[in-house]
Amino acid sequence: MQDAIFAGRKLTYSRVITRDDIVQFAQLSGDFGEHHVVPDASGRLVAHGLLVLTVPTRMGTDLHYLAHTMQWMFVRPVYDGDTVTADIVLSSVQLIEDTKGKRLDIAMIVKVSNQDGRLVVRGESTGVVVHPPTVAQYRAMEG
């Protein structure tokens, strides 16, 4: 059933970005920029932008979404200890049936804010869901 994914659907994900997350991401990515490894005057590290984007990409797991395009604007920094919340709106969902089979073409708008409600990242993505989850699977995600 594809009715679990529809235009206007809103999804929200949150998590705390830890110092350990930043250190591990620096090691994984090789990005050891000073602002990621040397604390500022307040003792904080700046999180990598792509680390912050792991919060909204959780949606990919839940909806079986494969991104084709992503466009992001990083508005302000995120620091270790910040809680970030990604609010996602599916702005377009179209069922496509062709020689490749059935799939859902999806466009979405993403806003990521910190614990103070201040926007830290905004963006858009387009992609596809080849095997949409069932309604029962979708309801289980909402937990």
Domain count of the chain?
A: 1
Element (H, E) at 101: strand 101-113
Q: Which domain holds residue 129?
A: 10-142
25 in a structural domain: yes
- For the segment 84-139, what is each residue's pLDDT rounded down to a tens digit? 999 999 999 998 888 877 889 999 999 999 999 999 999 999 999 987 655 565 56
Element (H, E) at 88: strand 83-98
- For the segment 35-84, what is each residue's pLDDT rounded down to a tens digit? 999 999 999 999 999 999 999 998 888 888 999 999 999 999 999 999 99
Which CATH number characterizes residue 34's domain? 3.10.129.10
Q: E strands along 20-78, which residues?
A: 65-74
3 in a structural domain: no
